[in-house]
Structure 1
Amino acid sequence: MATLASEASSDALYLLHEGTQYQSYHFLGSHVEERSGQMGVNFAVWAPNAKQVNVSGSFNGWDGSNHQMSLADGVWTLFIPELGEGTLYKYEIVTLDDECYLKSDPYAFHSELRPGTASIVTSLEGYEWQDEEWLANNTSNQFLQQPLLIYEVHLGSWKRKEDGGFYSYVELADELVEYVHERGYTHIELMPLEEHPLDASWGYQVTSYFSVTSRFGSPKDFMYFVDRCHQKGIGVIMDWVPAHFCKDAHGLTRFDGTPLYEYADSRKGEHPTWGTQVFDYAKPEVLSFLISNALFWMDVYHIDGLRVDAVYSILTLNFDREDEDRIVNEQGGDENLEGIAFLQKLNAVVFSRYPNALMMAEDTSSYPGVTAPVENGGLGFNYKWNLGFTWNTLAYMKKNQEERSSQEDQLTNSLLNAWDENYIIPYAHDEVVHSSKSLLGKMSGDDNWQRFANLRVLYIYMMGHPGKKLLFMGNEFGQIDDWNSEASLEWDLLKFEEHQQFEHFVKNMNHFYIAERALWELDYEPSGFEPINAEDKSDGLVSFIRNAENDDEHLVIMCNFKPEAHEGYRLGVMRPGRYQEVFNSDKQEYGGSGVTNDSTLVSEEWTCQDCPYSITVTIPPLAAIVLKYIPAKG
């Protein structure tokens, strides 16, 4: 890594203050290096408004008076000989008001495990990566036409040890990675792993953006985890939190005695509901910090992409703000023009260096063009979470059968705007916490059989709906209780047959999804989807066709959201030929009633449901079937 004292340091600082220094972690922070034949540690920190900054640590009894740093162009530096890896340290900030306090290093590569808050001198060099094949095959922007099936994980609660302790990155690299691989997922999405003081924040309130959390091991342990994922053909996405940071005293808040990383105007600089502070996106050094951090996880840890949290709060000045506290921009609107510019710059820079990166927006707003290219005025993400689909379908599935008859639009409205953005369909962690019930717990039904059947048909509808897919851990085997971030998932449920059958269903569904190009190849092209327009909008039946680029490769999907079976149902289809049932959520092996279509179905030239041909099919109760088209010969 480069050092601040190199010949190019003035250029590096110029770019830092311009907001275009995208590898600022190369010279800011602590770095083990050699100076004049002597090994030691070079410390560098941006704190332009401090009166004095000293290095305080385990090596000087936490008294920095003998290790004063020198200031040049807003950055304080000091080389201390004979120090090395493992040294605990903080920066002793003396403010213009002569107050003195200790701050963790914003660019530290490793930090103490809570409740400790010291930074740890750590080298990130020397790990021997074994993921060359993954990187070699990951060279073109191909994901829009590839399957993307994401398993969202909170590492602290996927599985706990008998004593309640965490599994390490190294242990998870074997057990979790193999689990995900066997079940057909293409990617793991990790809830935030930047160092954070409070377990209950799940990592969304960060203090050290360049420190992978020490809860599960060392930085090189995490490299091993990512490496093992890639060797198994699994991509790694990490949740990233550039929208806000926590107010803990050792963190970024009022770092040099002034609002340095946050907006000085408290109306813009705080999220009152979250109790956090907002980055000042107008400040060039903050842009250098954030964009360097995004690239850091890709540069150093080979992360394949970032899910950017709370995008809506970056887009607007009035997120979660009362009307009387409303503020406006210079154009009279409530858009945060600086936040919008930051997101556009972030994505432009990331894709200029990593064209195949996955940049996903968790955005609850209706802001247009989230996944449109920056050069066309968009934000430049390549994916956006479709939370409208999530909320509407779950609201429908909670309803009893009598209520559902007039509410089918909740299921199908998302098809009206399915191509407005490049959507990911998520059933994520936010849907199963805070007494909101697990996905299984949300399902209506008179008994467990109906609840499981409801969840199976919902999952097939999700898999058939245009857009890539995400499922939070535990939902693959029918977790019963809310997600508890302080304990293991309910693995003991797999002792019971109905949960074993449901896990078997999800595993088979995942592999079916991966194998069928029609379910993902044209996700973002209207030609990849054809509705089958049934006249009765209250019968609980939703039918549609999914197409691949090959015109003869398509699937007919029929979902029955009511407990009545339909024998001899005439279903409209668009093409003449034969149709074979290739997936059925009602199979007995999945816990269903066993109503299937065992014979090949042959189309007739009989107009039905706005389609020129039709077939006669048996539709099982509370279930989905998938029919594969077999072209007519000759």
Structure 2
Amino acid sequence: MANKSMDEETKNNLEKELYLFNTGEHFDSYLTMGCKKDSYKGKDGFRFTVWAPNAKSVGLTGEFSDWHMGIEMERIGETGCWTVFNEQAIEGQCYKYRIEQSDGTVKLKIDPYAFEFEVRPNDASIVKNLPEKKWRDGLWTASKKRFSIYERPLNIYEVHLSSWKHHEDDSWYTIPELQQELIPYVKKMGYTHIEFMPLMEHPLDASWGYQLTGYYAVSSKFGTMEEFQNFVEAAHLANIGVLMDWVPGHFNRNDYGMVYFDGTPQFEYKDKDKAENNRWGTMNFDLGKDQVQSFLISNALYWIEQFHLDGLRVDAVSSMLYLDYDIGEWKPNEDGSNHNKVGVKFIQKLNEKVFERHPDTLMIAEESTAWSKVTKPVYMGGLGFNYKWNMGWMNDTLKFFEMNPSSRKHHFNLITFSFMYAFNENFILPFSHDEVVHGKKSLMHKMPGDRYNQFASLRTLEAYMMVHPGKKLNFMGNDYGQFLEWRIHEGLEWESLADEMNAKHLHFMESLNMLYKKEHALWEIDHQTQGIQILDADNATETILSFIRKGKKTRDFVIVICNFVPNERKGYKIGVPFEGTYEECLNTEMHEYGGVWTKLQGPFKTIKETTHQQDYTIELIVPAMSVLILRPKRIFGVPKN
């Protein structure tokens, strides 16, 4: 049975909530909209509330009504929303909204605010209330408040949930199974965070989760809300952060979803050229519409607050910044510019609202253009993110490493150019899923030469990323040198670890990650020019790059020597800042990692000779195709700081 008319108190309360929703200021709108457990006139049931401003009528239909004609919903004044209380609805039942559009067409639509959906190919929303979890991760959340993420190690392991590992019958791991295996693996390997590709409801695997239908639901193909909450809690108890990719720019255009929800442009732009995203076959959100802002900003906060996520990596930011970003026909602004002004304002508002509540959250932009001040605060004219993927560094670096080593000296600027802009933004250096799919080859397969030289190059590549200014991200499979590129319908090639070279590379990555966490110089002042001192960036002939990475304390520094060609350099002199003794803490060519060196060099004693503008010099052998990292063992004349 449904109550078709509200009492005045219920109506007034809803109208207050919906006023905020309609002004773009309701950032907990999921507590009002959608399906919510409620009591009304002494009866227990669920209240259903939906935004459909231009519908002629809206009905509720589902298992509780045997999918017969829709239970009539009441229009709530001039709010554009409709509501009904149903005492027959129980948790776990399926439902949809029956929308009579302005032209009389009737369509069954999902609930945009649903917390759960049927397992595909079925697509109905499911009656579900927010779980009331008692969280046990207080120490983790407290530690985030005490220590700034900018001055902490950040080394992210990017994961696609259903293709990380498969069972023998080719079924993927459930969230509880991942909790038992993925978290210990990430901890053992020395990563600081897991980043999931989108886990929200989406109908097509080929979209990798980036074409969403249910923004408030964990995809039913992956598991339940409770299971994902438990996963995040378990990760935090293991001192592992959890991030997730989030897609506020565009949404899936399947007819049962949000597309032309009430028969008119509702969630999407009114202008068809702006609304239709031809690149991805999706619909672009009208980011200037107040109700859309309430929907999306509430959604970001929902994942942060209800799941204790440590941050969101915001997908395709460029598509929200530009009017002409892959849409075909477009109209410039009155001043002739191509900036999407409402998109810019939405992004700024999103970041301001998130950081107002959660200043220790990571808001990471995947932004592929030269837009300035992406990671500067809004009050400084920035977009307000605190991190940005460094796509320029990634493209130049991979282009350089894919070359025949003999050609690299002619293109040395591909490696050195990034130091010109490394501190313009707070950067994350990404080797993500996008670089190992669609015929691009795996990281290991990109490397030239025979198998030995491929692994030597891969170790050099990974070590170079670790010593370069900026936080780190690596996609699953990179860490043991998977040869085949990523395939979404299959698990990773874990069987490759039976091969000695793959097993040694995994050991190398574990050692490298642990070294990164140990050496303050590699992350403590990552985003300040004082964090690096270039020694020699002009040695294109030998194709060697050298620099010093520094921490806050003068004694916290490491010397880095990168040799990008398979030629050993004997008697190589490197300048160091202080007299004393230095030792190797990494040689990527060690036998235990797959190289040919059986023992480390050193310790090295300085000689009083000026090299690389430094007062002291040490002499050593630089192995072929390698990265060496040296640290002070006992040094003199260090000023106190």
TM over 0.5: yes
Contact kept in structure 2, 1:404 and 1:538, CA below 8 Å: no
Q: Which stretch of structure 1 is more off in the superposition, 276-285 or 58-67?
A: 58-67
2:359 corresponds to: 355
Q: 2:537 and 2:60 mapped to 1: Cα distance?
A: 72
Distance 1:235 1:544, change over 3 A: same
Matched, 1:550 2:553: yes
The structure 1 segments of at least 4 consecutive aligned residues displaced by more than 6 Å after TM superposition are none
Q: 1:64 and 1:534 mapped to 2: Cα distance?
A: 73
Matched, 1:439 2:443: yes
Matched, 1:238 2:241: no
Q: 1:358 and 1:5 mapped to 2: Cα distance?
A: 38
Contact kept in structure 1, 2:605 and 2:618, CA below 8 Å: yes
Residues 137-152 of structure 1: pairs in structure 2 closer than 5 A: 137-140=143-146, 142-152=148-158
Pick one of 377, 384, 391 that aligns with 2:381: 377
Pick one of 606, 610, 630 that aligns with 2:633: 630
CA deviation string 1:526-566 (max 9, x = no partner): 00101012553231211111000001110001111111111
Contact kept in structure 2, 1:444 and 1:450, CA below 8 Å: yes
Q: 2:405 and 2:153 mapped to 1: Cα distance?
A: 33
Pick one of 511, 515, 519 that aligns with 1:512: 515
Q: 1:6 Cα shift?
A: 7.4
CA deviation string 1:457-501 (max 9, x = no partner): 111110000000000001001110010010000001001110000
Residues 86-105 of structure 1: pairs in structure 2 closer than 5 A: 86-105=92-111
2:68 partner letter: D
Matched, 1:121 2:124: no
Pick one of 417, 424, 431 that aligns with 1:420: 424
2:415 corresponds to: 411
Contact kept in structure 1, 2:274 and 2:330, CA below 8 Å: no
1:424 partner letter: I
1:367 corresponds to: 371
Q: 1:125 Cα shift?
A: 2.4
CA deviation string 1:173-193 (max 9, x = no partner): 111111111111110000001
1:525 corresponds to: 528
Matched, 1:165 2:168: no
Alignment RMSD (CA, Å)? 1.5
Counterpart of 1:137 in 2: which secondary structure? helix
CA deviation string 1:86-132 (max 9, x = no partner): 01000000011110011000000011111111000112223232212
CA deviation string 1:411-463 (max 9, x = no partner): 11111100000000000000000111000000011x11000000001111100
Q: 1:232 and 1:66 mapped to 2: Cα distance?
A: 48
Q: 1:573 and 1:563 mapped to 2: Cα distance?
A: 25
Matched, 1:53 2:62: no
2:588 partner letter: S
2:550 partner letter: N
Residues 151-300 of structure 1: pairs in structure 2 closer than 5 A: 151-300=157-306
2:32 partner letter: F
Q: 1:597 Cα shift?
A: 4.2
Q: 1:631 Cα shift?
A: 4.6
CA deviation string 1:342-378 (max 9, x = no partner): 0000000000000100000000010000000001110
Matched residue count:
629
Contact kept in structure 2, 1:382 and 1:422, CA below 8 Å: yes
Q: 1:91 and 1:15 mapped to 2: Cα distance?
A: 23
Counterpart of 1:48 in 2: which secondary structure? coil
Give the % identical residues.
Answer: 43
Q: 1:140 and 1:168 mapped to 2: Cα distance?
A: 34
Counterpart of 2:479 in 1: which secondary structure? coil
Q: 1:488 and 1:104 mapped to 2: Cα distance?
A: 31
Contact kept in structure 1, 2:582 and 2:602, CA below 8 Å: no
2:3 corresponds to: none
Q: 2:165 and 2:480 mapped to 1: Cα distance?
A: 14
Contact kept in structure 1, 2:576 and 2:615, CA below 8 Å: yes
CA deviation string 1:283-329 (max 9, x = no partner): 1000000100000001111111000000011000000245xx34212
Q: 2:286 and 2:73 mapped to 1: Cα distance?
A: 28
2:464 corresponds to: 461
Contact kept in structure 2, 1:113 and 1:214, CA below 8 Å: yes
Distance 1:363 1:216, change over 3 A: same
Q: 1:164 Cα shift?
A: 1.9
2:231 partner letter: F
Distance 1:66 1:403, change over 3 A: same
Q: 1:633 and 1:435 mapped to 2: Cα distance?
A: 53
1:81 corresponds to: 87
1:387 partner letter: M
Q: 2:387 and 2:231 mapped to 1: Cα distance?
A: 25
1:37 corresponds to: 42
Q: Which stretch of structure 1 is more off in the superposition, 427-436 or 327-336?
A: 327-336
2:322 corresponds to: 316
1:318 partner letter: D
1:198 partner letter: L
Q: 1:470 and 1:10 mapped to 2: Cα distance?
A: 45
Q: 1:21 and 1:125 mapped to 2: Cα distance?
A: 21
2:406 partner letter: E
Matched, 1:494 2:500: no
Q: Which stretch of structure 1 is more off in the superposition, 554-563 or 55-64?
A: 55-64
CA deviation string 1:581-623 (max 9, x = no partner): 0111111000101065432112222112333321101111111
Q: 1:408 Cα shift?
A: 1.1
Contact kept in structure 1, 2:569 and 2:622, CA below 8 Å: yes
Q: 2:355 and 2:55 mapped to 1: Cα distance?
A: 36
1:342 corresponds to: 346
TM-score if structure 2 supplies the norm length? 0.96
Q: 2:106 and 2:335 mapped to 1: Cα distance?
A: 41
Q: 2:343 and 2:473 mapped to 1: Cα distance?
A: 27
Counterpart of 2:547 in 1: which secondary structure? strand
CA deviation string 1:182-218 (max 9, x = no partner): 1111100000011000011110000010011111211
Matched, 1:584 2:590: no
Matched, 1:593 2:593: no
2:433 corresponds to: 429
Q: 1:62 and 1:557 mapped to 2: Cα distance?
A: 68
Contact kept in structure 1, 2:579 and 2:636, CA below 8 Å: no
